[in-house]
Amino acid sequence: LIRPAPRPPRARGVPHPPYENPAMSTIAHLINGEIVFRSGRTTAVYNPALGAAIRQVELADASTVQQAIEAAQAAFPAWRNTPPAKRAQVMFRFKQLLEANKDKIAALISEEHGKTLEDALGELQRGIENVEYACGAPELLKGEYNRNVGPAIDSWSDFQPLGVVAGITPFNFPAMVPLWMYPLAIVCGNCFILKPSERDPSSTLLIAELLHEAGLPKGVLNVVNGDKAAVDALIEAPEVKAISFVGSTPIAEYIYREANKHGKRVQALGGAKNHAVVLPDADLDNAVNALMGAAYGSCGERCMAISVVVAVGDQVADALIERLVPKIQALKIGAGTACGLDMGPLVSAAARDKVKGYIDAGVAQGARLVVDGRQRVVPGCEDGYFVGGTLFDQVTPQMSIYQEEIFGPVLCVVRAASLEQAMQLINDHEYGNGTCLFTRDGEAARLFCDEIEVGMVGVNVPLPVPVSYHSFGGWKRSLFGDLHAYGPDGVRFYTKRKTITQRWPQRASHEAAQFAFPSNG
Q: List residues with catalytic annotation.
A: 303
Q: At 501, is the secondary structure helix, strand, or coil?
A: strand
- Evaluate whether 433 touches 303 at the Cβ level (below 8 Å): yes
Eight-state DSSP code of residue 338:
S
Cβ atoms of 499 and 157 within 8 Å: the answer is yes
Residues ≥6 apart with Cβ < 8 Å to 413: 308, 309, 311, 317, 320, 321, 391, 392, 393, 394, 395
382 CB-side CA count, 13 A: 2
Q: Which residues of 395-425 are buried (b: 16+ CB within 10 A; e: fewer)?
A: beeebebbebbbbbbbbbbbbbeebeebbeb
Q: Are strands 191-195 and 164-168 parallel, antiparallel or unpaired?
A: parallel
Complete DSSP assignment for 44-56 = EEEETTTTEEEEE
Q: Contact at 8 Å (CB) between 316 and 422?
A: no
Residue type, 176: M
CA 457 to each of CA 179, 285, 448, 453, 465: distance values in angstroms, whole numbers, following the listed order: 23, 21, 9, 9, 9
- 10 Å CB burial of residue 196 (0-12, 13-18, 19+) is buried
Fill in the amino acid letter for 64: T
Q: Can you state the angle between helices 102-113 and 117-134, rounded to 10 degrees? A: 120
| CA–CA dist 310, 288 (Å, integer) | 13
Quote the Cα angle for 150-156-157, to 5°.
140
Across the strands, what pairs with 414? 310
C-alpha 349, offset from chain centre: 22
Rounded to the nearest 5 degrees, what angle is found at the Cα of 261, between the Cα atoms of 260 and 266? 15
